[in-house]
């Protein structure tokens, strides 16, 4: 038995999801004729109370399309220094949009309205033109931390006052919604665009949705084509998304319980310097000097437990749909013996 905590992207479709995929109605989506994609896009937009949505192959693509839609070359994007859009999208903000980035030091990936306010460039010919604020909820490198929704509303107000667009990288927004008892509609009201992943905690093999106003999505559809993301009979994978939205959201609470159970044991280990606050399905912990992250990952692997060294002294474990109660018990047993 391999227990794979490297990411919540390692899940395989369940029999129910496979059945939904096998029986999906499909058509050519570049002609707008794939009924399953149309259904998924409508479903996503309705859940968030947003006008329209666009199905894309990845969360990187939905984020990068959104950034390109919201900016002009030479503009500046405000985000936390640990943001996925900056750290893990291949420098796409620069290469796809020709925009620069203003990096803020947030609290476990979360930035504040006050920080945003003082980071907006003055209207001066020397300066870049600030046009977009991008938030991430939950924050991946922040250890799955969740925003306080009141702070998001304050950031939205600052954006409105300064005519900035506001985008959410909600790759794991589902985890935040379940952990905080919030609704998708709240988020739909707070952002100009939202990217959500179906391939992370929800267990789909592929896919992300970009949500926004009708005109925004029209522009996004054109950019998706330019990026090479126009797909044909992709209803087979959209059907997995529909299934996931109907079946796999509420169960995330179980993942959160499992995550806390494992983190509580890790926190007691002598070789652990600190564990980032655990709010959802991610555990990031830092090691003391006598043990490196790659060494611990190798040691765990001997016990068939896979983790990820996100830096020389930090290890990340992500809990997901394919992690069973038995696997959690085994993991706790292994940590107890380390
Ligand atoms: C995974 C992830 C994405 C998108 O990743 P893809 O692998 O391109 O789907 C975006 N943002 C965050 C925070 C993520 O964790």
Residue nearest (by alpha carbon) to ligand 1 atom 5: 59
pLDDT of residue 80: 98
Question: If you measure from the C-alpha of residue 84 to the centroid of ligand 1, how many angstroms do you get, rounded to a whole number?
Answer: 7
Answer whether 59 contacts ligand 1 (Cβ < 6 A): yes
Q: For 20-47, what is each residue's pLDDT tens digit?
A: 999 999 999 999 999 999 999 999 999 9
Answer whether 139 contacts ligand 1 (Cβ < 6 A): no
pLDDT of residue 248: 97
Stretches where the chain sits below pLDDT 70 are: none
Cβ burial, residue 27 (10 Å; 0-12/13-18/19+): middle
Question: If you measure from the C-alpha of residue 225 to the centroid of ligand 1, how many angstroms do you get, rounded to a whole number?
Answer: 20
Classified as helix, coil or strand, 102 is: strand
Query: Domains of the chain (ranges plus CATH)?
Result: 3-9+251-337 (3.90.1150.10), 15-247 (3.40.640.10)
H helix intervals, 227-292: 235-247, 252-267
Residue nearest (by alpha carbon) to ligand 1 atom 4: 59
Axis-axis angle for helices 235-247, 15-22 (nearest 10):
140
Model pTM score: 0.97
Question: If you measure from the C-alpha of residue 200 to the centroid of ligand 1, how many angstroms do you get, rounded to a whole number?
Answer: 8
Classified as helix, coil or strand, 41 is: helix
Q: For 308-321, what is each residue's pLDDT tens digit?
A: 999 999 999 999 99
Answer whether 66 contacts ligand 1 (Cβ < 6 A): no
pLDDT of residue 201: 85
Instruction: Decide if 300 contacts 291 (C-beta within 8 A).
Output: no
Structure token digits, residue 229: 């993301």
For residue 60, the ligand 1 atom closest to its alpha carbon is: 8
- The backbone torsions φ and ψ at residue 128, rounded to the nearest 5 degrees and listed phi first, read -70, 160
Residue nearest (by alpha carbon) to ligand 1 atom 2: 171
Answer whether 84 contacts ligand 1 (Cβ < 6 A): yes
pLDDT of residue 49: 98
């Amino acid at each position: 038995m391999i227990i794979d905590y490297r990411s919540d992207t390692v899940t395989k479709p369940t029999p129910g999801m496979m059945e939904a995929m096998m029986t999906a109605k499909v058509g050519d989506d570049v002609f707008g004729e794939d009924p399953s994609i149309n259904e998924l896009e409508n479903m996503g937009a309705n859940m968030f109370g947003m006008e329209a949505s666009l199905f894309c192959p990845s969360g990187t693509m939905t984020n990068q399309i959104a950034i390109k839609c919201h900016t002009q070359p030479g503009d500046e994007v405000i985000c936390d220094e640990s943001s996925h859009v900056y750290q893990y999208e291949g420098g796409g903000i620069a290469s796809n949009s020709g925009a620069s980035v203003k990096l803020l030091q947030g609290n476990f990936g979360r930035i504040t309205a006050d920080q945003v306010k003082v980071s907006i460039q003055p209207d001066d010919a020397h300066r870049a033109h600030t046009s977009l604020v991008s938030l991430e909820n939950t924050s991946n490198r922040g250890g799955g931390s969740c925003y306080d929704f009141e702070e998001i509303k304050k950031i939205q107000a600052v954006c409105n006052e300064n005519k900035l667009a506001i985008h959410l990288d909600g790759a794991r927004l589902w985890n935040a919604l379940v952990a905080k008892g919030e609704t998708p509609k709240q988020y739909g009201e707070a952002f100009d665009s939202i990217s959500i992943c179906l391939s992370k905690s929800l267990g789909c093999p592929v896919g992300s949705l970009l949500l926004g106003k009708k005109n925004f999505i029209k522009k996004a559809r054109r950019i998706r084509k330019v990026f090479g993301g126009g797909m044909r009979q992709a209803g087979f994978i959209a059907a997995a998304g529909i299934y996931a939205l109907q079946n796999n959201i509420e169960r995330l609470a179980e993942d959160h319980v499992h995550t806390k159970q494992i983190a509580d044991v890790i926190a007691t280990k002598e070789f652990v310097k600190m564990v980032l606050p655990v709010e959802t399905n991610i555990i990031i912990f830092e090691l003391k000097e006598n043990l490196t992250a790659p060494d611990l990952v190798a040691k765990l692997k001997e016990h068939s437990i896979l983790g990820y060294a996100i830096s020389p002294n930090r290890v990340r474990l992500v809990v997901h749909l394919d992690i069973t109660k038995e696997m959690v018990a085994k993991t706790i047993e292994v940590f107890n013996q380390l």
